[in-house]
Amino acid sequence: MSLFDVIAILLTLTALFAWINDISIRLPNTIGLLLMGLIASFVIIGLELAFPDTAIFHRISDLVRGIDFSEALLDGMLAFLLFAGALHVDFGRLRNRAWIVGTMATVGVAISTLVVGSCLWWVSNLLAMPLPLAWALVFGALISPTDPVAVLSALKAVQIDETLETDMAGESLFNDGVGVVLFTMLVAAATSGGKDIGAAGFAELFFVEAGGGGLLGLLAGYLAYRAMRLIDDYPVEVLISLALVTGTYAAASALHVSGPIAVVVAGVLVGNRGAEVAMSETTRRYLFGFWTLIDEMLNSVLFLLIGLEVLVLQFEAALVPLAAAAVPIVLFARLCAVSIPVFALGARTRFAAGTIPVLTWGGVRGGISVALVLSLGTGEFKPVLTAATYTVAVFTILVQGLSLGWLVRWLGVCRQPEAPVEPVRN
Angular region, 417: left φ>0, alpha ψ -120 to 50, beta rest: beta
Q: What pLDDT was estimated at residue 77?
A: 87
Q: Is residue 247 classed exposed, middle or buried when 0-12, 13-18 and 19+ CB atoms within 10 A define those classes?
A: middle
Would you state the pLDDT for residue 420? 45
Query: Dihedrals φ, ψ of 143, to 5°?
Result: -100, -15
Q: Is the pLDDT of residue 425 over 50?
A: no
Q: What is the DSSP string of 376-393?
A: SPS-TTHHHHHHHHHHHH
How far apart CA 320 and CA 73 sit, in angstroms, is: 26
What is the model's pLDDT at position 205? 73
Rounded Cα distance, 422 and 58, in Å: 63
Residue 356 has pLDDT above 60, yes or no: yes
Predicted confidence band at 422 (pLDDT cuts at 50, 70, 90)?
very low
User: Poorest-confidence range of 224-238, 296-310, 382-396?
Assistant: 296-310
| Burial class of residue 130, CB neighbours in 10 A (0-12, 13-18, 19+) | exposed
- Find out whether 392 and 327 touch, Cβ atoms under 8 Å: yes
Q: How confident is the model at residue 415 (pLDDT cuts 50, 70, 90)?
A: low
pLDDT at position 296 is 85
Handedness of CA 98, 80, 147, 185 (dihedral sign): negative
pLDDT at 286 over 90: yes
Task: Please enumerate in sequence order all residues whose Cβ is within 8 A of that of 252, keeping only pairs 6 or more positions apart, or say none.
Answer: 212, 213, 216, 258, 259, 262, 263
Mean pLDDT within 400-412: 85
Least confident segment among 66-70, 217-221, 274-278, 392-396: 66-70
Report the pLDDT averaged over residues 213-242.
94
Whole-model pTM? 0.85
Within 10 angstroms of residue 202's Cβ, the number of other Cβ atoms is 16
Asked if 148 contacts 82 with a C-beta cutoff of 8 angstroms, the reply is yes
pLDDT, tens digit, 9 for 90 and up, residues 294-305: 988 888 888 888
Q: Is the four-CA dihedral 312, 313, 317, 320 of positive or negative sign?
A: negative
In sequence order, the 6+-apart residues with CB closer than 8 A to the CB of 13 are 304
| Residue pLDDT, tens place only, 114-156 | 999 999 999 999 998 889 999 999 999 999 988 777 777 777 7
CA pair distance 106, 110, nearest whole angstrom: 6
Mean pLDDT taken over the chain: 85
Find the DSSP H helices in 144-198: 148-155, 162-192
Whole-number pLDDT of residue 423:
46
pLDDT above 90: residue 246:
yes
Rg (C-alpha) for the chain, rounded Å, is 22
Average pLDDT over residues 180-200: 75
Q: What is the pLDDT of residue 217?
A: 95
> What is the per-residue pLDDT across 151-186, written as a single tens digit (0 to 9) for each?
777 777 677 778 888 888 888 888 888 888 889 888
pLDDT for 199? 60
Please give the pLDDT value at position 249: 94
- Looking at per-residue pLDDT, the higher value among 203 and 17 belongs to 17
DSSP state of 304: H
